[in-house]
């Protein structure tokens, strides 16, 4: 499941549970390639939120995002991990498995 996040829904969508959030920009080629990998999660139980850092700079600033794409893993709204750069689906799943207990 992929959810578009912005200033209007970020807090509500990320406040409970384990949430993977990708920060991207529309001009980033790595982000465009990352989107292809994320499409494999579209009909899965993995929750992924996506934030356009140009459209929601306040959220990107809050998490000190410096490059794109950047994934932030949240647990009950608190940042517990960060993964910078392009990741294949298998790499993302392996990283997530480290935090699922």
- Its sign, for the CA torsion 32, 47, 23, 68, is negative
42 included as an active-site residue: no
* pLDDT, tens digit, 9 for 90 and up, residues 74-83: 999 999 999 9
Nearest in space to 7 (alpha carbons), one of 74, 67, 55: 55
Give the DSSP per-residue string, 31-63.
HHHHHHHHGGGTTSS--EEEEETTT-HHHHHHT
Per the CB < 8 A criterion, the answer to whether 60 and 71 are in contact is no
Q: What is the pTM of this model?
A: 0.94
Question: Among 21, 31, 53, 65, which one carries the catalytic annotation?
Answer: 31
| pLDDT at res. 99 | 87
Give me the number of domains the chain comprises.
Answer: 1
| pLDDT at res. 26 | 97
Residue 69, preceding bond cis, omega within 30 degrees? yes
Q: Work out the pLDDT band at 63, boundaries 50, 70, 90.
A: very high
Question: Among 5, 28, 53, 72, which one carries the catalytic annotation?
Answer: 28
31 included as an active-site residue: yes
> Which has more confidence, 53 or 1?
53
| pLDDT at res. 34 | 97
User: Among the listed ranges 17-21, 27-31, 41-45, which one has the minimum average pLDDT value?
Assistant: 41-45
User: Cα–Cα distance between 37 and 68 in angstroms, integer?
Assistant: 15
Q: Work out the pLDDT band at 42, boundaries 50, 70, 90.
A: confident
Domain span at 9 = 2-97
CATH number of the CATH domain containing 8: 3.40.30.10
């Amino acid at each position: 499941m992929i959810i578009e996040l912005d200033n209007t829904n970020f807090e509500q969508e990320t406040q409970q549970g384990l949430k993977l959030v990708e920060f991207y920009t529309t001009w980033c080629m790595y982000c465009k390639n990352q989107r292809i990998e994320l499409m494999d999660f579209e009909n899965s139980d993995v929750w992924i939120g996506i934030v356009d850092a140009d459209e929601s700079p306040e959220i990107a600033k809050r998490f000190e995002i410096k490059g794109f794409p950047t994934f932030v893993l949240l647990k009950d709204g608190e940042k517990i991990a960060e993964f910078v750069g392009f990741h294949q689906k298998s790499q993302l799943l392996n990283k997530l498995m480290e935090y699922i207990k």
